[in-house]
Amino acid sequence: MRGEVLVLENVVKVYKASGVETQALKGISLKIYRGDFIAIMGPSGSGKTTLLNIMGLLDKPTSGRVLIDGIEASRLSSSELARIRNYKIGFVFQFFNLVNRLTVLENIEMPLIPRGIPRPKRVEMATAALIKAAGDPSWLPKKPSQLSGGQQQRVAIARAIVGEPEILLADEPTGNIDTASSKIVVNTFKKLNEAGATIVVVTHNPEVAHCTQKIYIIRDGLLVNIVDPDPSKCILSA
């Protein structure tokens, strides 16, 4: 059943700094359905990351509504929002956001700790997630700084999926890695989507966007177009 998993209704986001208002989002409405794999594209400053942060309940809109599984986010307490982020949403960032003083294993298992899962089970789940993210279990005792950028991004994906979230949000996930690693990341996303994950990717790279099911074009804080991708332009076709 492809029900709506994430709905934005006329979302506006205004930032205020030194008495100056900047309207990052100017009334965006869209629906993400269970099993979707979409890309969000647009020039720098168009509001893509702001939109993704609001989708992921990391930021609140100035006005408009965000519904996740039919529940309006503004009606939830801070603890309820934190629980939804932990159980339902996984995040992948351009610069990995790994904790360098921790091992790869400790980084991956972090989302599981608030759930009270015993350590042996966390190790088992972290190992399985790293393999699913096209990583190597031999990385587990290492520090992130001992890995390449592409390997670190696979660790970051493992951390994002270790708790089996329903939604995966990725902000420029290939923006800081080479082409070979980008192909591994995109292929991993495709496999996760085929297994049932709903995935939203913000990207500047058309070769990544064309691997998805739909491309949403954002410009000046507005959703200006929805484009069907061309699979022949997908990075995996090269």
Domain ranges in the chain are 35-60+77-237
The CATH code belonging to domain 35-60+77-237 is: 3.40.50.300
pLDDT at 2 over 90: no
Which pLDDT does position 173 carry in this prediction?
Answer: 93
What span, in angstroms and rounded, lies between the C-alpha atoms of 48 and 222?
Answer: 10
CB of 218 closer than 8 Å to CB of 47: yes
| Mean pLDDT of the 99-124 span | 94
pLDDT at 230 over 70: yes
C-alpha radius of gyration, the chain, whole number: 18
pTM, rounded to two decimals: 0.93
pLDDT at 33 over 90: yes
Q: What are phi and psi for residue 116, nearest 5 degrees?
A: 75, 25
| Mean pLDDT of the 81-92 span | 91
pLDDT at 130 over 90: yes
pLDDT at 205 over 60: yes
Per-residue confidence at 75, pLDDT binned at 50, 70, 90? confident
Greatest Cα pair distance in the chain: 52
Which pLDDT does position 44 carry in this prediction?
Answer: 86
Which pLDDT does position 1 carry in this prediction?
Answer: 54
What span, in angstroms and rounded, lies between the C-alpha atoms of 154 and 9?
Answer: 33
| Mean pLDDT of the 95-120 span | 93
pLDDT at 109 over 80: yes
| Mean pLDDT of the 192-206 span | 95
Percent of the chain with pLDDT over 90: 79
Residue type, 110: M
What span, in angstroms and rounded, lies between the C-alpha atoms of 175 and 95?
Answer: 8
Q: What average pLDDT does the structure give for the chain? A: 93
How does pLDDT run across 150-183, given as a tens digit for each residue?
A: 999 999 999 999 999 999 999 999 988 899 999 9
| Mean pLDDT of the 42-52 span | 90
